[in-house]
A and B are shown apart, each in its own frame.
Chain A
Amino acid sequence: MSAPRPILLKGGRLLCPASGLDKKGDLLLAKGRVEAVGSKIDPPKSAKVIDCSGKVVAPGFIDLHVHLREPGQEYKETIASGTAAAAAGGFTAVCCMPNTDPVNDSAAVTEQILERAAKAGSARVYPVGAITPGLAGKALTQMAELKDAGCVAVSDDGHPVSDSRLLRRAMEYASGFDIPVVCHSEEKSLSAGGAMHEGPTSTRLGLPGIPAQAEVIAVERDLALAGLTGARVHICHISCAGSVEALRRAKEAGWAVSGETAPHYLALCDEDVGEYDTHRKMNPPLRSAADREAVRRGLAEGIIDAVATDHAPHSVLEKELEFGLAAFGVTGLETALGIILELVNEGLMSLSQAIERLTASPARILGLPGGSLAKGGPADVCVFDPAAPWVVEPEAMLSMSKNTAFAGRTLPGRAVLTIRGGKVTHQAKE
């Protein structure tokens, strides 16, 4: 395969929170790397020159939490369609959770995912291996082998490790190989049977509720074990005030902990379930408006480190059902940037802070390459127009599944050009 032509991105607002860069200038990409950053760069002869004036040139976004569904549920999503959706959303790297079929709990499955990702090519794929074989919560996976095969972390996402003793052992064992443990924090005995957040809306709709405490109790436990073991622990999909507070205290204690939230927890609340809209059904559920405010503040203040999409594609087979029977989960790769730009426009945080939560911060949490425009780093770039409103149309999305929570919403801006390793992976139609 021949090396791609050099690309010169001209005249954009270069925004790299990792290196503190925020000025108008040019960016030259060659041989898969960032070749030069400057106020004015003359294009090499063979270079493709792209005018980026009026646009923001940022590091490619890194999503710590997606479900690519392959192997096993290719009718919902494949590595090819999922990474294409990622590229369309400005992401150049995604971490895929292990709840595939078979579960990614062995080197063989990890290798299979990486092989397919290498062919599909639209984004870097970093597999997350399971903590316990089959996500069954009974024993430990061969984490060292998983890491050698290419896993960047371990998680039983979708299933909490309910046995505290086992989770402690998992953290201790993983930390011996410097493998981060990514926690789906849910106290299952408290959330059992629930379909949405427990509150006035669940009461009105007659749906069984999931109290916020089902998350908070588990987050507190998982963080306490991080303190006990010294392991690197990352908390998934924080949705409520109590979890933000727990994470703040754990960080103040100096533990090696981090957390993410997802765009839907920043933009929606339980009232948005409306009349049994299954595209607003996810786990953890959309919480109260007060929780949403706490999560937004937590993100702005950096207590919550990153925005991850928890992109969870489901077909109509799982979603066009009675609310109680419908699957939990919504897609998110193609709408994340737009939701985050809403927060910037509302003055919650600066554009630089917002982009940091999508780039430098996730790279730091899992020790991934990228997340920066620094010279010599990977040529992973997202060019976006922060002021080009568009309406979310599920049918126009690249994900195979159309279960977005934001259908019909007008978002303020979107990715227009995504480059991974110096190759264009997405270019918006003019």
Chain B
Amino acid sequence: MSLSRRNLLGLEGVSAEEITTILDTAESLKEISYRPIRKVPTLRGKTIVHFFYEASTRTRTSFELAAKRLSGDTVSLSASTSSLTKGETLIDTAKNLLAMSPDCIVMRHSQSGAPHLLAKHIPISIINAGDGAHEHPSQGLLDMLTIRQAKGHLDGLKVSIIGDITHSRVARSDLIGLTTMGSEVTFYGPRTLIPPAADTLGAKVATCMEEAVEDADVIIMLRVQQERLTDVLFPTLREYAQRFGLGMKQMRAAKKDVVVMHPGPINRGVEMSPEVADGPWSLILDQVANGVAVRMALLYLLIGPEAA
């Protein structure tokens, strides 16, 4: 199996066949994480730079583990150690990195489109690990892998994504990936956190929590950034939890076989009550485990021995 692309900048433009290839590859690589010696030599001699201009312990750890389990060499560069804080431009930094001959740059950046800029200027594989409020494709893929494992398929499902849609790159990547695979996505959240043109992205927008929850096969709750409070996007965490949080009351109205996900870290008691987060519906820890597998698959497909 291989992909006919060098970069993964987002799930926009990625075909259903490509997504299936990535998920199938992740499925086959997943067992490596459960061996006594969790390492294969696939990426021996390859160098992966983890370039995180924005802090993210989870995603970076997941990418690092993925690279290491495939025997890739990894270098980590974060905002505090990078020259970006010294006035160097992104392109300059990238060219400097390129001069050290890496095979792949995994990039997290606070600005939407930053990986696209990098991809225009340097000719090696770039994986977007989250850019601004745009996309987080590996998260979208791990969410799809998790759903596929739970439901057996990705087509014909009703998936509700609830919370801060406007600022969520996860919501965009989930929406694009899931609709590509034939599912229907509904957004719900405070009107201040739903982008004005959400419908043009191909999502339905629910008018109340009940509507968002009732028919859903999958509910994905998004993290509330508490700093949004100072942006006056919603009045209090208390009201947010009451109106937009997922608790036992909502779960009783939901389908029996519904599954619940969250990209983490959870604000317990805000977007989810502890009973829900730890309940039988919750796939949150499966998401984390699948994250490593999906990222192994991406590295394998983009820079592995059979890469285009």
Contact = CB atoms under 8 A, between A and B. Distances in A.
Contact of B201 (A204, A322, A323): A204
Given A198-B196, A199-B196, A203-B196, A324 B116 contact: no
B89 A205 contact: no
Contacts of A367: none
Contacts of A202: 195, 197
Contacts of A325: 111
A276 B196 contact: no
A202 B55 CA distance: 24
Given A206-B131, A207-B133, A324 B111 contact: yes
A206 B196 contact: no
Interface in A355-386: none
B230 interface: no
Interface string A311-324: 00000010011111
B117 A322 contact: yes
Interface in A189-216: 198-200, 202-209, 211
B113 interface: yes
A275 interface: yes
A426 to B, nearest CB: 34
A321 B116 CA distance: 11
A205 B112 contact: yes
A204 B91 CA distance: 24
B169 interface: yes
B114 interface: yes
Interface string B117-136: 10000000000000111110
Contacts of A206: 112-113, 131-135, 169, 172
Contacts of A324: 111-113, 132
B117 A276 contact: yes
A203 B133 CA distance: 9
Q: How big is chain A's contact interface, by range?
A: 20 to 34
A198 B90 CA distance: 26
Given A206-B132, A208-B133, A321 B89 contact: yes
Contact of B198 (A203, A208, A209): A203
B200 interface: yes
B223 interface: no
A202 B169 CA distance: 13
Contacts of A317: 89
Contacts of B195: 202-203
A320 B91 contact: yes
A317 B87 CA distance: 11
B50 interface: no
B111 A320 contact: no
Nearest to A206: B134
Contacts of B201: 200, 203-204
Contacts of A204: 12, 172, 200-201
Interface in B183-214: 195-198, 200-201
Contact of B200 (A200, A209, A321, A322): A200
Interface string A203-241: 111111101000000000000000000000000000000
A276 B89 contact: no
B116 A275 contact: yes
B266 to A, nearest CB: 23
B109 interface: yes
Interface string B49-91: 0000000000000000000000000000000000000000111
B197 to A, nearest CB: 4
B178 to A, nearest CB: 16
A276 B197 contact: no
A206 B135 CA distance: 8
Interface string A80-114: 00000000000000000000000000000000000
Most buried by B among A199, A205, A209, A321: A205
A113 B307 CA distance: 59
Contacts of A199: 196-197
A62 B117 CA distance: 37
Contacts of B197: 198-200, 202-203
A200 B90 CA distance: 27
B196 A207 contact: no
Contacts of B111: 322-325
A208 B110 CA distance: 12
B200 to A, nearest CB: 4
Contacts of A205: 112-113, 134
Interface string B149-189: 00000000000000000000100100000000000000000
Given A206-B131, A207-B132, A320-B91, A276 B198 contact: no
Contacts of B134: 205-207
Interface in A29-80: none
Nearest to B9: A275
Most buried by A among B109, B117, B131, B200: B117
A202 B112 CA distance: 10
Contacts of A321: 89-90, 117
Interface string B97-121: 0000000000001011110110000
B109 to A, nearest CB: 7
B109 A322 contact: yes
Contacts of B89: 317, 320-321
A198 B198 CA distance: 11
18 contacts: A198-B196, A199-B197, A200-B200, A203-B196, A203-B197, A203-B198, A204-B12, A205-B134, A206-B133, A207-B132, A275-B113, A276-B117, A317-B89, A320-B89, A322-B114, A323-B111, A323-B112, A325-B111
Given A198-B196, A275-B116, 7 more contacts: A199-B196, A205-B113, A206-B131, A206-B169, A322-B90, A322-B117, A325-B111
Nearest 5 A/B pairs, CB to CB = A206-B134, A276-B113, A322-B111, A200-B200, A206-B133
